[in-house]
């Protein structure tokens, strides 16, 4: 866990911290990027006397640089890097004890749903899936045993926007922890701790890495005791990222702000095309004024992100045809990287939710809009939609 933040870690605007926070030129060589520190163990001057590192599961200099940087971007006192987004989520959920209860969103990421329902459920953790935009449904879900409310905003794949501040107020009145999966927004667009969240989790596989070449996860927290508890689990359960993976995420983070600006611009243009196209029944993008969460998104986000989902008027068959017909949008799972991707959630990323309350519409298509030319992207999607009519 990294909390020995240097001067630059707190200073300057987001873009400056994204480039500089967490590391400085190497005093020995002047290298301007952190070294990929491969050592699994570190020499001690005497028993228990060392330079901050003993064994690399517990801490590693490259990981520490990443942890300081992303903690700074989330405006958190502590950051912890993990081997995947799911490993990060797992470390947070391990704080729950048998008999305790977690509230998750009805359209949580399929992997979150699977972890809660199929791994923690059988281990005695109670859970309820709730539409977090429905105050009455949420009011009915609280229990004496509720320990965590898990927010994802915007959600994967339906782009539901949840009011973090409103839920944090209700949760804190009950002594319940608020966890926000900030993967879709990234800290550039939304900083959940500033709205009262207690814990932020990320799949750094997505926008933070940004180049489809690394799998990683992250937890950011302000509270010292919570941070100690999660750091204990990071070391005890050991789902840590390797040094090169940490380096790749850190490299991605340095360009996060400029990439996100382009993702948002391109997604807006794609959403505009979809809104007008007759092959499309419904467009889900928080940037559209008609999106039910648009006003909340305006308040809590700097931009509306790079993911756009839509349902095809021609149902599942049309959705599959569109997904098979794009040339620049690559048919693939995942999101948040420089290249544009298209996928069919019901059969791909969210297949594990089939038959559950979290199952997604088979007519749904999800786009991760990349940073290519907006003109090319819109033309590609248009020809695929025309083919689906
Ligand atoms: C919103 C969200 N949270 C968590 C995860 C899990 O992350 P990972 O695949 O890095 O384990 C994903 C992966 O798609 C995701 O989209």
Q: From first to last of the 389 residues of the chain, give the pLDDT tens digit.
A: 654 444 457 789 999 999 999 999 999 999 999 999 999 999 999 998 999 999 999 999 999 999 999 999 999 999 999 999 999 999 999 999 999 999 999 989 989 999 999 999 999 999 999 999 999 999 999 999 999 999 999 999 999 999 999 999 999 999 999 999 999 999 999 999 999 999 999 999 999 999 999 999 999 999 999 999 999 999 999 999 999 999 999 999 999 999 999 999 999 999 999 999 999 999 999 999 999 999 999 999 999 999 999 999 999 999 999 999 999 999 999 999 999 999 999 999 888 778 887 789 999 999 999 999 999 999 999 999 998 87
Q: How far is the CA of 85 from the centre of ligand 1 (A)?
A: 5
Residue whose Cα lies nearest atom 6 of ligand 1: it is: 85
pLDDT of amino acid 358? 79
pLDDT of amino acid 351? 85
109: annotated active-site residue? yes
Residue whose Cα lies nearest atom 12 of ligand 1: it is: 203
**Of all atoms in ligand 1, which is nearest to the CA of residue 183?**
1
**DSSP per-residue codes, 304-353:** --SEEEEEETTHHHHHHHHHHH-SSSEE-S---SSS-EEE-TTTTTTGGG
Ligand 1 pocket by Cβ (under 6 Å): 84-86, 109, 111, 152, 156, 181, 183-184, 203, 205, 215, 217
User: How far apart are alpha carbons 130 and 134 in whole angstroms?
Assistant: 8
Judged by DSSP in three states, 65 sits in helix
Other beta carbons within 10 Å of 139: 10
What are the E-state strand segments in 67-196? 78-82, 101-105, 126-130, 146-152, 177-181
Burial of 49 (0-12, 13-18, 19+ CB in 10 A): exposed
CB 153 within 8 A of CB 107: no
pTM exceeds 0.85, yes or no: yes
pLDDT of amino acid 1? 61
The first and second tokens of residue 163, run together, are: 């009011």
113: annotated active-site residue? no
User: How far apart are alpha carbons 82 and 383 in whole angstroms?
Assistant: 40
206: annotated active-site residue? yes
Catalytic choice (5, 68, 206, 259): 206
Using alpha carbons, list the distances in angstroms from residue 129 to 53, 62, 114, 358, 362.
41, 38, 12, 8, 20
Q: How far is the CA of 111 from the centre of ligand 1 (A)?
A: 7
CA dihedral in degrees (22, 200, 206, 191; nearest 10)? Answer: -80
């Amino acid at each position: 866990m990294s909390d020995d933040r240097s001067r630059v870690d707190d200073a300057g605007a987001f873009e400056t911290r994204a480039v500089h926070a967490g590391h400085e030129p190497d005093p020995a060589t002047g290298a301007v990027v952190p070294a990929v520190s491969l050592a699994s163990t570190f020499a001690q001057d005497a028993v228990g006397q060392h330079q901050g590192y003993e064994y690399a599961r517990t801490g590693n200099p490259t990981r520490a640089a990443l942890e300081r940087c992303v903690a700074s971007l989330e405006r958190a006192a502590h950051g912890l890097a993990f081997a995947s987004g799911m490993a990060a989520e797992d470390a947070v959920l391990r704080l729950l004890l048998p008999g305790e209860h977690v509230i998750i969103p009805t359209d949580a990421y399929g992997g979150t749903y699977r972890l809660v329902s199929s791994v923690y459920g059988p281990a005695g953790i109670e859970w309820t899936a709730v539409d977090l935009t429905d105050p009455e449904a949420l009011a009915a879900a609280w229990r004496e045993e509720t320990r965590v409310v898990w927010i994802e905003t915007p959600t994967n794949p339906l782009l539901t926007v949840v009011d973090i501040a409103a839920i944090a107020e209700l949760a804190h009145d009950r002594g319940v922890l608020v966890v926000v999966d900030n993967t879709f927004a990234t800290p550039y667009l939304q900083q959940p701790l500033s709205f009262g969240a207690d814990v932020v989790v990320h799949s750094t596989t997505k926008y933070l890495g940004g180049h489809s070449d690394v799998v990683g996860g992250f937890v950011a927290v302000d509270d010292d005791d919570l941070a100690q508890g999660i750091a204990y689990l990071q070391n005890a359960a050991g789902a840590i990222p390797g040094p090169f993976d940490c380096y790749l995420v850190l490299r991605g983070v340095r360009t996060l702000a400029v990439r996100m600006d382009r993702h948002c611009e391109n997604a807006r243009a794609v959403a505009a095309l979809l809104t007008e196209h007759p092959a499309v029944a419904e467009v889900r993008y928080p940037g559209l004024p008609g999106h039910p969460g648009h006003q909340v998104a305006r308040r809590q986000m700097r931009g509306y992100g790079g993911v756009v989902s839509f349902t095809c008027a021609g149902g599942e068959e049309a959705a599959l045809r569109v997904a098979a017909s794009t040339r620049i949008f690559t048919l693939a799972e995942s999101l948040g990287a420089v290249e544009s991707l298209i996928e069919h959630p019901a059969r791909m990323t969210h297949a594990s939710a089939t038959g559950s309350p979290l199952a997604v519409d088979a007519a749904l298509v999800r786009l991760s809009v990349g940073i290519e030319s907006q003109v090319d992207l819109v033309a590609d999607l248009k020809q695929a939609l025309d083919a689906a009519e």
